[in-house]
Structure 1
Amino acid sequence: MSSRLCAPFGACAVALGFLTLWHCASQTRLPPTARAQISARHAGTTVELRESCYFGELYDENELWLLSPYAFADTSHIVDLKGEPIHPQGQRDIITAGSRFVIDRVEFPDATALAKRMITTPRYNPWVYLKPVEGSDVSLSGRRGYVVILPAELETEEQVENALSSIFAPEGNVARWLETRRPTVKVAIATKNVFEGMSREEMIASMGMPLLWFIEQSAEGEKRVAWYGSKEVWLKSDAVLAVKDGRPVAHKPRDTVASEAMVAPIQGPRS
């Protein structure tokens, strides 16, 4: 049985009471009215994934699945006390772009949410709770649902809406777009692969938005490099030229929010 109560009980309540209150204090700058409007706007809406995603363990939460466009080895929303990234474990399989979900709710890290979330999860981030559309190929696989983690630094209603629209498309949009793709591209998107000749749009549907962009200058002109951690994709004129092993990157962008006892939030990969 997993424990999600932020407030301790019994003798621990006396020793840790003040610390608990701090841990459970609201961590969102969005006013309650904005949070309520966003939740009401999206709750019950059927959407499609814009990008193929991996799913697996939501860190130490054992009742929900995490969805991420990146391999879990390249996914991190929290760090340890030394500032080292903590990666989710138990990557299971791929849920393809165009898969349909119902948004159950958009939950912000207010005091109520923090009291329910386990400490060893990205509890300071907004969470989008999803359930597969009934009759779809996506199953719950024994869990209550799926969660997409939004960046922790969202401060306005517009930023939240932009983050949501970058992940989800209205029902039917992605499915119709996929119908116009070449068979080899459809397979690449479904298996999260990329090959020479794919367009930038097709690359993103397969791999997600790049974690970082680089510009490379050569005698042949300027090339853009989409960095995905263990892999990088070279493009020119929005067409894939080559796929190479990812270069080492010393410093990735991350939040500077003070950590709690075990983990601290880091910046989401979208920027």
Structure 2
Amino acid sequence: MKRLLVLSLTLLLAAGCASQTKLSAEDRSSLDRDLTTGPAAVRYLKVSSYVTPFFGDGSKRLLTPYPPEEVRLLNDTKGQPLNPGPIQTLVPAGTQVRVLKVEFPTSWAIAERVLYSPRTQPWVYLQVEGAPAGSPIILVLPPRLDTREDVRAELDRHLLVQDPAPRLGKFAARFREALQQKRVLEGMPEAALELSWGAPETIRRTLDGPRVNQEWVYPGGKRRVFLTDGVVTRIDEGAGATEAPAK
């Protein structure tokens, strides 16, 4: 009787959680197989990222390029973004990772996931080199990835196929050190900025004669970086700003 009750409850939960993926079962299986076996499973972190708790699911950890207060994966009942929890460790750009599993938000998967988690989005389970041992580390992909190509393209935005060490080695030593610490420095080239802080929420571009000015605004609008001709000139983290001397 108890087993029947548990089964009935599971079926009710699944019925109330509509699938959030348009990928067929065959596409999901082949993608998971292609991305988790052989050399394709070994990738490299594109952006220096944090490991944090996974919202209400104590059995997992979150990998995110943004500090917890800027994470925009889950809202509370008032529509405000939920903070996943404090930073546990920092993983620098170029760190090797292994893709262990790609889990899509089918009705069954959603029913099994913790309520207060981004359960309607695809999850990529990772083994992250150098990260403290513990519960699985999850990279959450955005919703509405309707094709195999969509999933691969989104994964490529976060995890590189080729080791970026040669590219990182071309940056000045002080910029390489900043990347290890997820910091941004004046004079840093645009490419290094993105490797350190990740892509901004918005970019505002203006022209000043022949110069191209950019303002990178990160989620929540607190952090802003100003660039001229692809070089960082000012960093504003909300509690004050630093500016490069005029040339």
Q: Could you tell me which amino acid in structure 2 is paired with residue 42 of structure 1?
A: L
- Report how far residue 100 of structure 1 moved: 0.9
Do residues 223 (structure 1) and 213 (structure 2) align?
Answer: yes
Aligned twin of 2:245: none
Residue in structure 2 matched with residue 159 of structure 1 by the alignment = 150
Q: Is the 8 A contact 2:89 2:131 kept in 1?
A: no
CA distance in 2: counterparts of 1:9 and 1:32, whole angstroms: 28
What is the alpha-carbon distance in structure 2 between the residues aligned to residue 156 and residue 83 of structure 1?
Answer: 29
Q: TM-score, normalised by structure 2?
A: 0.84
The one-letter code sitting in structure 2 at the alignment partner of 1:68 is T
Aligned-residue offset at 1:219: 6.7
Picking from 50, 56, 60, the partner of 2:56 is 60
| Structure 2 letter corresponding to 1:204 | E
- Whether the aligned pair in 1 keeps the contact of 2:14 and 2:110 (CA below 8 Å) is no
**How does 1:13-162 map onto structure 2 within 5 Å?**
13=9, 18=12, 20-44=13-37, 45-132=41-128, 136-140=129-133, 142-143=134-135, 145-162=136-153
CA distance in 2, matches of 1:219, 1:196: 22
SS in 2 for 1:86: coil
1:235 aligns with 2:235: no
Deviation per CA, 1:192-225, whole angstroms, max 9, x where unpaired? Answer: 1111211111001100111221234557854111
Cα shift readout 1:65-122 (whole Å, capped 9, x = no counterpart): 1000000100021112322211211221211111111100111101232132101000
By how many angstroms is 1:62 displaced?
A: 1.1
1:164-175 correspondence to structure 2 within 5 Å: 164-171=155-162, 173-175=163-165
Partner SS, residue 124 of structure 1: coil
RMSD: 2.4
Structure 1 residue 159 displacement after superposition: 1.5
Q: Is the 8 A contact 1:126 1:151 kept in 2?
A: yes
Residue type of the alignment partner of 1:89: G
TM (norm. structure 1) is 0.77
Give the C-alpha shift of residue 21 in structure 1: 3.5
* 1:180 positional shift: 2.4
SS in 2 for 1:85: coil
- 2:193 equivalent to 1:193: no
Q: CA deviation at 1:174?
A: 1.5
What's 2:193 paired with? 203
Q: Secondary structure at the match of 1:166?
A: helix
Distance 1:24 1:162, change over 3 A: same
Whole-Å separation in 1 of the counterparts to 2:21 and 2:29: 13
Q: 1:185, CA displacement in angstroms? A: 0.6
